[in-house]
Amino acid sequence: MRRFSAIPLLLGNEISKRNSRRKLIRNRSADDEIDCGDVVVTPKPSWRNFTHAELSAATDDFSPERLIGKGGHAEVYKGTLPDGQIVAVKRITKKEKKDENNRVGDFLTELGIIAHINHPNAAKLIGFSSDGGLHLVLQFSTHGSLASVLHGANGSVLDWKIRFRVAIGVAEGLGYLHCECQRRIIHRDITASNILLTEDYEPQISDFGLAKWLPEKWVHHVVHPIEGTFGYMAPEYFMHGVVDEKTDVFAFGVLLLELITGRRALDSSRQSLVMWAKPLLEMNNVKDIADPRLGDAYDMGEMKRAMLTALSCLHHLPNMRPNMIRVVQLLRGEGGQVELKQKTMGGRTIILDACDLEDYTNTTYLNDLNRHMQLVLE
């Protein structure tokens, strides 16, 4: 799995230029306002403004032994504060960006977005630092990321009960970001690695480095360059750079598939989980899609609801995907079922939604996905 930046395949997209007047945090008082370009953020009173010396001491000078996560844009270290509190220190790297103003602007935007978030299924910010680099200090999650627990090499198997609770928690967190937060927030990088698990396995959405604010009057936003984690990106995003809530819905569908199957979004042979699982979802084939490590230790009703929800979220047409509020209802079995059609093929009953009969078929979508994967991974 890797992050990447790719040139959109559709030319002519206008590139939104960042405000060149974005400023670095200059005052160490947590009561001062921070200029984030299009919004002014007032740090919460509980936030601490750390010095580089404090963070260096907490992480043993950012020792490799303290490294607990690494992506294309940041490194995360386990730290211990003088009072014994365990924290996660996120050090922004983004070394490929030569424009320091843009790098700082991205950091301040992420900080501004986190300032608007208050939900049990979103990571908690403890403090920040601009001394000797850009850092965010977050609440430490005992079990690490969902990816490390679900795909870890220690041989343990995550119980279905926990998996299903994680699915609902992430869905509720995304519903909050999309519909209930003070401003519409599109995460843009929902992956198993960016879902952290607390001591009681409560999921928390983390890493808002690629997140976007969308004004209420905007139906969607076109971004460049396209950034994210391959295997989770919706077709309209990786083909055209179109971002809205349905971008996250698709990524959640992939995450749901990981919980159902125990497989990675992209395996070692570069096989897409969506491409492998979609036919099984359409045939409602529980036996072949469920993680074999679970055996029969799962609730059949929950498994079928999870599969049906995943199929709905992974629709190739964004307007046919449910919003996250509806996703929560589907997982809980509330508010009625998704309207689906069935057809028989080769003696087997296949579940289809109405738009699968349109010109842009699932086969076309999977071919597009495969071509794009070959393009960016060559």
pLDDT attached to residue 204: 96
Do 48-139 and 144-337+362-377 show the same overall fold? no
Asked if residues 165 and 122 have their Cβ atoms less than 8 Å apart, the reply is: no
pLDDT digits (tens, 9 = 90+) for 131-142: 989 999 999 999
Was 287 annotated as part of a binding site? Answer: no
- Cα–Cα distances (Å) from 50 to 89, 113, 167, in that order, read 11, 19, 34
pLDDT attached to residue 217: 73
pLDDT attached to residue 338: 55
Asked if residues 314 and 253 have their Cβ atoms less than 8 Å apart, the reply is: yes
**Whose CA is closest to 88, among 60, 61, 69, 104?**
69
Taking the domains of the chain in order of start, what are their residue ranges? 48-139, 144-337+362-377
Top-level class of domain 48-139: alpha beta
Asked if residues 286 and 303 have their Cβ atoms less than 8 Å apart, the reply is: yes
Identify the segments of the chain with pLDDT beneath 70. Answer: 1-45, 72, 94-102, 153, 219, 221, 336-378
pLDDT digits (tens, 9 = 90+) for 57-105: 999 999 999 998 877 678 899 999 999 999 999 998 866 545 566 678 7
pLDDT attached to residue 90: 92
CA atoms of 184 and 157, how far apart (whole Å): 36
Note the pTM of the prediction, 2 decimals: 0.80
From 2.60.120.1090, 2.60.40.420, 1.10.420.10, 1.10.510.10, which CATH number describes the 144-337+362-377 domain? 1.10.510.10
pLDDT attached to residue 363: 58
Residue 159 annotated in active site = no
CA atoms of 191 and 251, how far apart (whole Å): 7
**Whose CA is closest to 169, among 220, 226, 120, 213?**
120
CA atoms of 197 and 195, how far apart (whole Å): 7
> For residue 377, what are its two tokens?
């991974």
Name the active-site residue from 106, 189, 248, 291: 189
